[in-house]
Amino acid sequence: MMLFLARRTAALVVAVLLASFVVFLIPYVTPGDPMRKIIRSRVAGDAIDGSAVEALSLQLGLQDPLWTQYLRWLGRFASGDMGLSYTSRTPVVDQVLPALWVTLSLVVLTLAVAALISVVLGITAALNEGRAADKAITAVSQAFIAMPEYWLAPMLVLVFALELSVLPSAGWEGPTSAVLPVAVLALRPASHFTSAVREGMLDALGADHVVAARGRGLSHFHTVRKHVIPNGLLPLTTLVAVWFAGLLGGSVIVEVIFAIPGMGRLLFDGVLNSDIPLAQGAVVVVVGLAVLLTTAADLVHGLLNPQVRMRHA
Amino acid sequence: MSEGLIIEDLHLALSGKAPSRKVRSGEGPIARPVLSGVGLSVAPGEFVALVGASGSGKTMTALSVLGLLPPQIHVQSGSIRLGGTDLLQSDDRELNRIRGGRMGMLYQQPKRMFNPRMTIGSHLAEPLKLHRGLRGRQARQQALELLADAGFDDPARCARAYPHQLSGGMAQRAMLALAMAGQPELLLADEPTSALDKVLERQILALIDNQRRQHGLGVLYITHDLATVSAFADRVVVMDGGRVQESGPARTVLDTPRTAFTKDLLAASALTAAQVTSAQAPAAGTAVRIPVQPLLRTPTAGTPLAGTPAAGMPLRIPVRVAGHTPVARTPLRTTVRIPVRRPPASEAGAPAPSTILALDDVTKRFRSNGRGARPALEGVSLSLREGEILGVLGQSGSGKSTLARLLVGVETPDRGSITRTLPAGERSTGDDGTAVQLVFQEPHDAFDPRMTLRASLEAPLLRRRNCTADERRERIHTAVRDVELDPDLLDRYPGQCSGGQLQRLTIARALLLDPAVLICDEATSALDAVTQRKVLDLLLRLHSDRRLSLILISHDMNVIRYMSHRVAVLYQGALVELARTTDFFANPSHGHSKQLVAAARPDPRAAAPSGDYGLDAAAVGLVLGARTSP
């Protein structure tokens, strides 16, 4: 198990370093002169003379080799210094942390709702394979999987916020404001989870050991509860973690539409305003978290599956 | 209670359509019969063997007793009673009490019958709680006792283990403990040992027999291998095509089989454990025993049967069925068509035999987890002569399959060399890569399920530029006829063929490339005894018609004895013995070989040398202990 952990951690570090290097390169490959942006962010007024650029470049160490610059940048980043935002002229960290908190709440809530719905529907569908309930659940989940958020979100706002006026159309204050964004965001993972739970349950139902359990005198109900459901839900754990990572960055559209001050929103603003430090900070945090979650998913899967657990023990 | 299991006139049918709950009245338009009027009984304490080839309806009979038939199979009529309770009329609640409580079941693949995410101990807790009301400490205590009864020397460790940590033999013993947990009066055993080697098979049978004697357990033992159970069975029921062909006391059925099918089964079992007596009438009581082997070899001086039998000539030889020393007083007479092996050049007195494949000090190591695993093969030197049949024996994990992969060239050795000296000119291929072909263990896995068999067979020919579509068609048909199959079969998909048919097709596919050497990696282990015999005889015929050299890899002693000129024994990756087949079986030199030979000896109750060669010492001890106790 220790070896397994060590190997996973090493892979994790490499992934994060690779991502950070790409992020580090952004200002070097984006059009427009970052130097002028930096100066503009620090000095009032539009006039920038060549000597100031020269001096700043020297001060920032831009004449050093690329890898020295990268290491320096990485060191500052690791110690929590993500630089100053060009637009707000405040430290990026102070914007990233609150936004991260908002996004995490949104995503966790979304996944909880999606998992709950999918477990109920997926198990119902599998236990009624081929009957009307199964067909209805499968058809609906297939339909929702194809429904884009940028279409669904305005539709829901139109109905619940504008026509019925029962829910707020935007913002992030109080539980009611979370209903619409969570509903929109949960729809696709819920559909995906439902079909995964259904498949997992069907596999688990068809396993030979289920016949053996009945052969020992366990009732159908008891067999399903003890031998089918736990095995059938196992694929869901990995899937939830994958979606967790995906939603951290994928919530951009929903956060923008519902004006939620989360990471997606921050990233969106950073990119739109060419606010490079802000974008860099947001991307590195999201990527780091995503990699961490994927690794956590592997570990959880290992803990739940003795065959994986023992192989690495 | 006193009457045991009674099945009367049981009819089962498969509804015409795929599993769907929409089949209106239970029977679709075409209801294909699965069982037609099966009747049998198992008295308390009785050991009944239910024998038949695969697909004969044995398993369906067992499942209908459990009341766990697949949804597409229905009981049409008949009755199944256990100790006075009509099982077909019982409701689910009643059946749940009976399953596991009054009858236990063993399955063909025990490892798949455990929930992979639960320990053996938690499996045992279920029936103990359900049928005996035991919980907590009491249940754990009882579970340990059950495991100890099933031959585990460290029951606590087994209880903590997950199914995937057990070997096949251990899993079957754990399954036996599980089946016995509810203190049943009937044990249904559905081919519990056909996936195990002979040593383990004997352990399991002895354990079952032990439980039968201790607890007055009725045993319905399903098998396709008559010889194995003959020593234990009180009565034998022979099934074929969903009907009981023949039944009666074991001695009657075995000595005077009435139907042709039973005779076939006996002939097939004769391969697995027969002793053939001389064709000349032996003096009463002093039967001269000759192993099957010399008959098939070129007779040498001293063999009572003089003269080479012509190939394929039907030969009437008396066969004594194994394990029936006390039962079969008069030798059983069966007509066996004997295929004749072309002897390797050395024995035919031809010029010096040329070596066709040679391994020199070959070592292969698979890295697992970076820790020092022992090599899969270590320092193996071996050669195959032209026209020779070399048997490679070894238990699972001994490196047999690694050897096959090295020989075909899928793996390369870490150390040492493999030399192929192919006979010049004879083969048209000239392509080194196809001169050695492999036949796999599991025929169903050897074909792409989404390709027709014709497409699968054609694939290796497509590589060759000098072969037109018509030529390919012609060659495929020739090869298919060569393995005694109808070319019409080629338009089917693998799922529509039997294991025996598919195994013939894998052989046909290998033959298409005109190999000089055919390697059969457990090629018949997945087949039932009758089919196995047919495939083996086919291989012998190809060997003699085509001058094919064969390497047979198997854990089955009897297949090796039946087929090969020489035997190589692999044990934990090392070659521990290499000898001529007759010498090997008469006088094995290595300890492991001795144990293997002893296990293949016909009488399962004969003394076996003890010793821990990759076996569970406790189980061996238990078997021996049971034998010495009065």
B22 min Cα distance to partner chain A (Å): 9
**For residues B502 and B50, what is the distance between their CA atoms, to the nearest angstrom?**
26
Task: Tell me which of B295-309, B541-555, B561-575 is least confident.
Answer: B295-309
Residue A246 has pLDDT above 50, yes or no: yes
Q: Could you tell me if A106 and A67 lie in one domain?
A: no
**For residues B154 and B161, what is the distance between their CA atoms, to the nearest angstrom?**
11
Residue A18 falls inside a structural domain: yes
Chain B, residues 160-219, CB within 8 A of chain A, namely 162, 164-165, 178, 181-182
**For residues B150 and B178, what is the distance between their CA atoms, to the nearest angstrom?**
9
**For residues B609 and B627, what is the distance between their CA atoms, to the nearest angstrom?**
13
B474 min Cα distance to partner chain A (Å): 42
Top residue of B87, B94, B96 to mutate, by most chain A CBs within 10 Å, is B96
Q: Could you tell me if A117 and A54 lie in one domain?
A: no
Q: Write out the two tokens for B312.
A: 């394929």
What does the pLDDT read at residue B321?
34
Closest CA to B582 of B291, B272, B303: B291
User: Is the CB of residue B117 less than 8 Å away from at least one CB of chain A?
Assistant: yes
- Domain spans of chain B, in order of start: 114-174, 264-297+309-337, 354-587
Digit-coded pLDDT (tens) for B218-240: 999 998 777 777 778 899 999 88
User: Is the CB of residue A300 less than 8 Å away from at least one CB of chain B?
Assistant: no
What φ, ψ does residue B550 adopt, rounded to 5°? -125, 140
Q: Could you tell me if A42 and A140 lie in one domain?
A: no
CATH number at residue A255: 1.10.3720.10
Digit-coded pLDDT (tens) for B242-276: 888 888 888 888 888 888 888 877 777 665 433 33
Given A52, A78, A104, the domain boundary residue is: A78
Q: What is the pTM of this model?
A: 0.65
| Chain A residues with beta carbon closer than 8 angstroms to that of B68 | 211, 214-215
Between chains, do A218 and B126 touch, taking CB under 8 Å as contact?
Answer: yes
What does the pLDDT read at residue B336?
36
**For residues B287 and B267, what is the distance between their CA atoms, to the nearest angstrom?**
19
What does the pLDDT read at residue B307?
36
Digit-coded pLDDT (tens) for A42-100: 666 666 677 777 777 777 777 778 888 888 888 888 887 877 787 777 888 888 888 88
Task: Tell me which of B484-493, B522-531, B617-626 is least confident.
Answer: B617-626
Of the partner residues A130, A217, A312, the one whose CB lies closest to the CB of residue B101: A217
How far is the first Cα of chain A from the last one, in angstroms, to the nearest whole number?
Answer: 4
Top residue of B64, B113, B129 to mutate, by most chain A CBs within 10 Å, is B113
- What's the rounded mean pLDDT across residues B596-616? 47
Query: Least CA distance to A7: which residue of chain B?
Result: B369
> A254: domain range?
92-311
Q: Return the C-alpha torsion angle A141, A146, A147, A149, nearest 10.
A: 110
Q: Could you tell me if A113 and A50 lie in one domain?
A: no
Q: Could you tell me if A41 and A98 lie in one domain?
A: no
Given A19, A54, A78, the domain boundary residue is: A78
A239 min Cα distance to partner chain B (Å): 19
Q: Could you tell me if A64 and A209 lie in one domain?
A: no
Between chains, do A208 and B117 touch, taking CB under 8 Å as contact?
Answer: no
Centroid of chain to Cα B295: 24
Given A15, A44, A78, the domain boundary residue is: A78
User: Is the CB of residue B100 less than 8 Å away from at least one CB of chain A?
Assistant: yes
Report which secondary-structure segment, H or E, holds B337. Answer: strand B332-337
Q: Could you tell me if A54 and A147 lie in one domain?
A: no
| Chain B residues with beta carbon closer than 8 angstroms to that of A234 | 117
Q: Is the CATH number 3.40.50.300 carried by domain B354-587?
A: yes
Total domains, chain A = 2
Between chains, do A214 and B99 touch, taking CB under 8 Å as contact?
Answer: yes
User: Is the CB of residue A131 less than 8 Å away from at least one CB of chain B?
Assistant: yes
Between chains, do A214 and B117 touch, taking CB under 8 Å as contact?
Answer: no
| Chain B residues with beta carbon closer than 8 angstroms to that of A212 | 105, 107, 113-114
User: Is the CB of residue A225 less than 8 Å away from at least one CB of chain B?
Assistant: no
**For residues B199 and B608, what is the distance between their CA atoms, to the nearest angstrom?**
10
What does the pLDDT read at residue B144?
92
Between chains, do A304 and B107 touch, taking CB under 8 Å as contact?
Answer: no
Residue A87 falls inside a structural domain: no
| Chain B residues with beta carbon closer than 8 angstroms to that of A3 | 369-370
Q: Could you tell me if A98 and A54 lie in one domain?
A: no
Digit-coded pLDDT (tens) for B120-135: 999 999 999 988 888 8
Q: Could you tell me if A62 and A128 lie in one domain?
A: no
Residue A86 falls inside a structural domain: no
Q: Could you tell me if A71 and A97 lie in one domain?
A: no
Q: Could you tell me if A58 and A142 lie in one domain?
A: no
| Chain B residues with beta carbon closer than 8 angstroms to that of A237 | none
What φ, ψ does residue B47 adopt, rounded to 5°? -110, 105
Of the partner residues A215, A219, A304, the one whose CB lies closest to the CB of residue B66: A215
B460 min Cα distance to partner chain A (Å): 34
| Chain B residues with beta carbon closer than 8 angstroms to that of A227 | 115, 118
What does the pLDDT read at residue B501?
83
Q: E strands within B91-163?
A: 103-106
User: Is the CB of residue B585 less than 8 Å away from at least one CB of chain A?
Assistant: no
Chain A, residues 187-216, CB within 8 A of chain B, namely 207-209, 211-216
List helix spans (H) across chain A.
Answer: 2-29, 34-42, 50-59, 66-78, 92-127, 132-145, 149-156, 176-206, 208-215, 220-223, 229-250, 252-257, 263-272, 276-304, 306-311
Q: Quote ipTM for the complex.
A: 0.72
The angle subtended at Cα B538 by Cα B536 and Cα B542, nearest 5°, is 120
- What's the rounded mean pLDDT across residues A122-131? 89
Percent of chain B with pLDDT over 70: 74
Q: Could you tell me if A73 and A115 lie in one domain?
A: no
**For residues B148 and B167, what is the distance between their CA atoms, to the nearest angstrom?**
17
What does the pLDDT read at residue A311?
58
